[in-house]
Every structure is written in C-alpha cells, then in structure tokens.
Structure 1
Amino acid sequence: MTADSHQAPPAENRRAHKTGAQLADGREIIFFDDEPRSRTVQDRREITRPEGGNEMRYDPLLREWVAIAAARQHRTHLPSTDQCPLCPSTADRDTEVPQASYDVVVFENRFPSFRGDVPVPADFLSTTTAAAESAGLLQPGSGRCEVVCFTDEHTSQLAQVSAARMRTVVDAWADRSAAMLAEPGVEQVYCFENRGEEIGVTLHHPHGQIYGYPFITPRTRTLLESAADYRERRDGDLFADILASEISDGRRIVARTEHWTAFIPAWARWPVELHIYPNRAVERLPELTSAERDDFAALYLDLLGRGDQLFDGPLPYISGWQQAPASAEPGLMRLHLQLFSIRRAENKLKFLAGSESGMGVFINDIAPEEMARRLVELGPVSGEDTGTESQDSGSQTAGSPNAGSQTGETR
C-alpha cells in the first residue's frame, strides 16, 4: 500500500511529520518522523486478524464495564530479540512495521482489548429490564487500541531518547488523541506506557499504547464527579487549587518549569507516584502549544532519568495521560500525567494484596514527602547523566532558590 505523506508545518509551530498507510490485514499504521522524509509503505505479509470477538459486560455492583477480548489470550509473549514484532522489518523477516527504520510509529493493535464503532447508548440502563441488568448487560465490542513504538532500537528505553524524539512522541499522542475522539465509538482516550516485566510487559521493545474507550473510565468518572462537587461547594477549580496548594507547601514538588509542575500528591497511593500538571488549564493533549510540548519533553526525560536512579536498576512503572472525555463538561477536567511504580525498595515490590485488591484501600509504605525529597536530590538529570542524547530540562527542583516561581528555562 502506498503511503499518504504530509508536509511539515512551519518551524515555529513544528509538528512531527506524518505518513499514513495500511498493513496487510487492513489495520492502519502511521509513521511520525522527527524531520520530513518520504516513505513508501508496503506490507508483504499474508495475514488476517486473529479470530475471537470483543464484547463488554456491565458489572451492576460497581457500575463498571468489563471488556472480554478472547483473542488477546494468544498475543505474543516475551519473544526473543530476533523475533520481536515491533522492530523494523528486514529482508529476512517481516514484522508489524514494514520499514527498514523509523522514528515513532503507531498502528492498530492486532490483539485489541477494545474494537468496534458502536457507541455505548447513553440510556442503556433505562431501556432494559431489572432481570437483564442483574444478569450483567452485554454490549458489542467498541473502541480502538493502538500501539506506539518510541524508537526502532530494541534495547533502548523511552528515558534514553533525545529531546527531539520525545517531542515527536508527544505529537503522536496528541495527534492520535484528536483522531480517536472524532470516532463514533470512542468516548475517552488514554495514552500510556507499561514498563518492566514486574508491571506485566509482554514485549521488551520500547513502546506504549493508546486506548480509545467507548465509555468514561471509572477513575475519570470519579475525577469529574469530585471536580463538579468541589466547584459547587467551593466555587473553585479542584485541579487548579490542588496545584496551588502543592506549590505553596513545596515539600512534594519535584521539579518546575515555565509550563509544567511535577509533584507527588499528599495522598499518593504508590511508593513512587508522580503527577505532572500543565501550569495553565488544558483539558486534552491536542490543546498543548508547541512551547508546552517542547518543555514537557525535556522535563519528562529528566524525571524518567531520576526514576531510574532511585533503585538498583530501571524503574518499572505505568505512566499515562488523564484527559477530558468527549462528553465532559467544559472546564471541569485538567490534563495531567500520572506515573507510578510498584517498586518500594531495591528488592521489594508493592503488591496489591487484601486491602488494596479486595477493598480498594491503599496503604503506602513510603511517605510522599520522603519520596519527593529523594527524587529532588537525584536531579535534574541530563542526557550526559543517563547516556542519552536529551538536553538538560532546565527544570527547577524543590530545593532550588526559585522553586516556587514559574521562570524555568524551556528548551
């Protein structure tokens, strides 16, 4: 299939260069290049999508959807390096990426958790019977799942890419968020990365995922309800007030730049739990300016580098963007990234045991103020410290003279 190539915008409003095409089984693939380049994409494989449908079942006790995706049981699990499906294709082996090299690439997941274009009816509960609801309502599979490869270097990590490449990743997240939110079967978009076998990663190649959920997820629903309640009771913006309170307190601020603030919330559930807020009210990734994207790219690489120095080895983590669903009331949600790790010591993990898994009540073994102090003392981390090409973020730590200001240098 021949690629559809797009011209890059002016330098002052730079976006990654896009090339879109199709894989042999009809799935979409999009290349995001750091600089404009010409690509012709041709998938030589004879493949079809795995058998096994997707459906959703409604839990009336928790009022949450559970996805049933039988085909995922057969997805690739920890292949050897020479069998990695996310590496570039070669003359001897065709992979999911039909190119000899790439910068960042996004494609539809061959084993999706959510797939389909039928929206969840807004009145699905009121149009059914009590017997049907108590038995667990069924809904056809809906939504979309994509894979994001951050680099074509199999043995690398996101923390080791250049600032320019990290910026391309941000552009890819924003582009796909806008595209997914425009689809009829998608209500909310979640861009995330699972890192480390401790987390459950099944492919070692540096990659993340983008989920287009056909409903508002439980966590986001709670966030929106809390923000709405706070607005009614306090006549204020919950996210703005949390950010202001953390800045005023200062003990849990890890780094600040002109456009972003990274902190550990006072109520952190996980041993390592970073929240990164934009300093202005932004609801979704596509709304970020070019300067905000550049600033985030440098800051995020700094924070990932610090995380890898906390314990003896790379930090296993889950990192993801919370952004407003399509139907959210304007002004209620603030875009932010949450990164958390189950590692609590060099040789110890935080397991979700009885209280956490059974009752949803978390118990944190490390005080948030202590973890923030440790991260502050480790940074800022530059490319020279981590062996990467990224530049120093210019961020200010909580121990810096200007930690309470917003005058950090953006690069």
Structure 2
Amino acid sequence: MQQFDNNEHPHRRYNPLTGEWVLVSPHRSKRPWQGQKEAASNTALPAYDPECYLCAGNIRSNGVRNDEYTDIFVFNNDFPSLLTDEVSTQENSSSLFQLKPERGINKVICFSPRHDLTIPEMEISALVKVVETWKEQYTELGSKDFINHVQIFENKGSVMGCSNPHPHGQIWAQSSLPTLVEKTQANLLDYYEKNGKSLLADYLAEELTKKERIVVENEHFAVVVPFWATWPYETMIISKRHFGAITEMTAEETLAFAEILKRITVKYDNLFETSFPYSSGIHQKPTDGKPHHEWHFHMHFYPPLLRSASVKKFMVGYEMMAEAQRDISPEKSAEILRNLPEIHYKQKTI
C-alpha cells in the first residue's frame, strides 16, 4: 500500500468554520488544459477617466455628481440589492414555501481618486484610510436598529463580475445573518462554548507552529492558505489577538492590517504578473448588540486564477452538485505564494 502524500493523493478536508468538506485532487493539476481562457488584460489605465462613473467629479448614471474627493469617497449604491423600506407580509402557511422581507443598505466605497490604482499599488498610508472608513461604516450601519450584519467586501477584476476597474469595494448591511455567516456563527459558538476559546485563535496557533500554510505575517496578523481552502490561491487574514470586529483594532493593529493587505495583494499580482482578480470580504461579529465573544476577526480572499493569468478555476459539475473541489494542495499554493517577492512586478524596472 502506498504512503499517503497530500500533494499527490486525493483526499477530503473539513472546514470547521462552515461545517463543510472540500475534495482535494492534487494529481489533477498535471492535466493539460484546452478549455476556456480569460483575456489577460494589462492595459494601462489613465489616472482619471472622464467616462468612469466612480472618478471624482464625474456624473453617475442617476445624474448625481461625485464629490471632488481626494482620498476616500462613500455613497449609497445607485442600484441597491436591498432597500430600507419596511413592508408587511402574511405569515408563511407552509414550511415548504417560506418567505420573509429583507431590509438593508448598500454602499460603495471608492478607495482612491486614482482610476489606475488597485490595493497592491496604493501606499500603506492610503490603505490605513480605507481601513478607518471600513470602521466608520461598520459603526454607522451597525448602529441602526434594523441592521444585524455588515458585510464589507471587494470584487476585483472583470472575471469576478466587477464592471468598473476604478478601485472600489462595497458594503451590504442587512437585517438577517446571511447563510454563510450564519453557518460560521454556529460553528464558532459551538467551539467557544465547548472550549472557552476562539476557534480561529487555536487554529492560527497551530498554523504558526507548523509554518506549512503561512504566507506572510507581522506582529498583529497572519495570512494563511486555510487547511480547507477551496480556491487555488485562497488565503485568509487572521488577527493574532482575539477580537470580534474591525472597530476593536488598536492604532498599531490598524496600521499592521493595512500593511498585510498590501503584502498579500502584491504577491497575488506578482504570481502571474497581472492585476490579480479576487473576491475578498471581512467576516466579523454581527451588529445585533450581543457580545459575541466567539467571533474572531478574519478576512477571506477568493481568487479564481489557477494556472496563469488566462486560466481560471470553474465551480461547475461536481462542485455544484456534490461539494467543493480543488486541484492543488493548500500546502503547495502557500509555498508558491510565500516565495513570491513583495515588490510589485510593475516596479521591477523602476
């Protein structure tokens, strides 16, 4: 009988945050690829685009003119997925046809007036302002009595459905806990009640000892390819100190978080020397007024690129019908990311 090798043999891994499993098939990374290729664009963008609806001073599609902002600009999404209106509905008469109205607020955050910048190309001082804005919005939105969850996220790149390259993210605040957050909530709480400690604190302590999946770290945060990662180069930023929300960061932690954001996104861009697409999002405690000692601040990055700037991971077939699956071991992807330089590839010739 062969000896198991996690970089060669198929196996399943358990995700304690969601209670789900992922199938790892590392031998499949050797297969030739003749399928879909995405257009890899390294087209130089202008610092200001008169046609961009997010650039400073430009008019958006609803006729509203943007502020002449010089760092951060926040506005209510012109095409929100959630509305603030309170509506009434009849009670569900069947467990098979459950429906309930959902209230919420959608906001857009422009990270910079520069149309041609992305997070890995921004100065750390500018990223600190982004983090401070996230704090302010989490506090402002979470203080509303009908808001119980504030989801801060960014979709980067057209392959992730981003319709505008201007550096920006979104916030969806709503009255219910979204499905994935609710699953995480349940598992974090179960672990905390059984062990009296944070699940992610214990998990990170082991990762920092093993060093197999750590990509980068500083005094306050670590970036790890999760043991249960699904996407090829998925990572998670975890705070070394146990706290539940971004508003609980000290000034030193805020600076360290901005720094770690830049370091991991620079590595992403350097991987295939392209503006690396991803969806990222912060997971933190609900804003329902309860203490939620079980929550531990973390941020997910889900990048789709698999082999090059033009080949992405598809979630189809088995993934849609059975369970998540990946073709490269988390240990291997962590090694690849860890060994990448932290100077952005565009600055090599400068």
Highest RCO, 1 vs 2 (Cα 8 Å, sep ≥ 6):
2
2:207 partner letter:
E
Corresponding residue of 2:283: 322
Unaligned regions of 5+ residues in structure 2, if any?
1-47
Q: Tell me, yes or no, if the aligned pair for 1:148 and 1:208 is still in contact at 8 Å.
A: yes
The 3 A distance-change label for structure 1 pair 235 and 88 is: closer
Q: Secondary structure at the match of 1:262?
A: strand
Corresponding residue of 1:114: 82
Shift of 1:154: 1.2
Shift of 1:90: 5.9
Corresponding residue of 2:297: 335
Q: 2 CA distance for matches of 1:97 and 1:202?
A: 19
Corresponding residue of 1:352: 315
1:218 partner letter:
T
Shift of 1:356: 2.0
The 3 A distance-change label for structure 1 pair 98 and 197 is: closer
1:208 has 2:169 as partner: yes
2:160 partner letter:
I
Q: 1 CA distance for matches of 2:152 and 2:84?
A: 19
1:147 has 2:108 as partner: yes
The 3 A distance-change label for structure 1 pair 243 and 96 is: farther
Deviations 1:317-357 (A, max 9, x none): 01110010123552111110111111101131111102222
Shift of 1:151: 0.8
2:318 partner letter:
S
Q: Secondary structure at the match of 2:280?
A: strand
Shift of 1:250: 0.9
Corresponding residue of 2:201: 240
Shift of 1:134: 2.6
1:89 has 2:57 as partner: yes
2:121 partner letter:
Q
1:104 partner letter:
I
Q: 2 CA distance for matches of 1:322 and 1:206?
A: 21
Is 81-90 or 285-294 further displaced after alignment? 81-90
Corresponding residue of 1:282: 243
Q: How many residues are aligned here?
A: 298
Shift of 1:114: 1.1
Q: TM-score, normalised by structure 2?
A: 0.79
The 3 A distance-change label for structure 1 pair 224 and 97 is: same
The 3 A distance-change label for structure 1 pair 116 and 108 is: same
1:109 partner letter:
N
Deviations 1:26-82 (A, max 9, x none): xxxxxxxxxxxxxxxxxxxxxxxxxxxxxxxxxxxxxxxxxxxxxxxxxxxxxx943
Match of 2:330 among 348, 368, 376: 368
1:130 has 2:93 as partner: yes
What is the percentage of aligned positions where both structures have the same residue?
27
Q: TM-score, normalised by structure 1?
A: 0.68
Q: 2 CA distance for matches of 1:343 and 1:243?
A: 26
1:223 partner letter:
T
The 3 A distance-change label for structure 1 pair 375 and 219 is: same
Corresponding residue of 2:44: none
Shift of 1:230: 2.1
Corresponding residue of 1:223: 184
Shift of 1:128: 3.2
1:296 has 2:257 as partner: yes
